[in-house]
Amino acid sequence: MTADRPVLAGVDLSAPSLAAVRWAAREARRRDTTLRLLHACVFEDAPAREPDELLLEHVHRWLHRAAQVARDWAPGVRVETAVRLGLAVDLLLEEAADAALVVLGSHGLGGLRGALIGSVALRVAAEAPCPVVVVPGHQPARTGPVVAGVDRSESSEHALRFAFEEAAATRAPVLVVHAGDDDAGLAARVAGWRRRYPDLEVRTQVVPERVPARALRHAAPDARLIVIGTRGRGPVAGGILGSTGNALLARSVCPVAVVH
Q: Write out the chain's pLDDT in tens, 260 residues.
A: 456 899 999 998 887 789 999 999 999 999 999 999 999 987 655 555 555 778 888 899 999 999 999 999 999 999 999 999 999 999 999 999 999 999 999 865 444 443 434 788 888 999 999 999 999 876 667 889 999 999 888 888 999 999 999 999 999 999 999 988 888 889 998 999 999 999 999 999 998 888 888 889 888 999 999 999 986 443 322 334 677 788 888 788 899 999 98
Per-residue pLDDT tens for 113-149? Answer: 434 347 888 889 999 999 999 998 766 678 899 999 9
Domain count, the chain: 2
Q: Is the pTM of this model over 0.85?
A: yes
What is the rounded CA–CA span in Å between residue 68 and residue 158?
33
| Residue 140 resides in a domain | no
Do 54 and 12 belong to one domain? yes
Do 151 and 115 belong to one domain? no
Residue 75's domain spans which residues? 7-135
Angle (nearest 5°) at CA 63 between 58 and 67: 150
| Residue 2 resides in a domain | no
Do 18 and 97 belong to one domain? yes
Query: In sequence order, which residues have a C-beta less than 8 Å from that of residue 115 and are 6 or more positions away?
Result: 88, 109
